[in-house]
Amino acid sequence: MTKTVITSDKAPAAIGPYSQAIKAGNTVYMSGQIPLDPATMELVEGFEAQTVQVFENLKSVAEAAGGSFKDIVKLNIFLTDLSHFATVNEVMSRYFQQPYPARAAIGVAALPKGAQVEMDAILVIE
């Protein structure tokens, strides 16, 4: 099996020993994105703004892989405060239409750089 590294300069550069995404066959495994502004590599402020930034970062990597949000089959959402769940749903509705991807929302104690939200995804590109 051939693995292809996917990168986008419109998303934050990896802050560790990993790739933004890896394509294997027609499946793309996207690494977790936190709400870093790719131009400054700084966190954006406010939970809703952080959620939007994460979706924008994921969108950039999906597009670099030749896909879009309609190709996402699984989305994992990590939150430091599950009381923001309704906000995540509202922001997510701006980016996705039915059929929605499978999804998990997981409460965690902390995220890199003090982020309040992180997401990763799996795409299948036909």
DSSP string covering 30-45 = EEEE-SB-TTT--BPS
Assess whether pLDDT exceeds 90 at residue 105: yes
- Helix or strand run (H / E) with residue 88: helix 85-95
Token pair 């995540």 is found at 88
Measured distance CA(103)–CA(40) in Å, rounded: 29
CATH of domain 3-124: 3.30.1330.40
Q: What is the DSSP string of 53-71?
A: HHHHHHHHHHHHTT--GGG
Average the pLDDT over 63-91 and give the result: 98
Using DSSP's 3-state secondary structure scheme, residue 26 falls into coil
Assess whether pLDDT exceeds 80 at residue 56: yes
Assess whether pLDDT exceeds 80 at residue 1: no
Assess whether pLDDT exceeds 90 at residue 126: no
Measured distance CA(32)–CA(43) in Å, rounded: 14
**Residue 50 near residue 58 (C-beta atoms within 8 A):** no
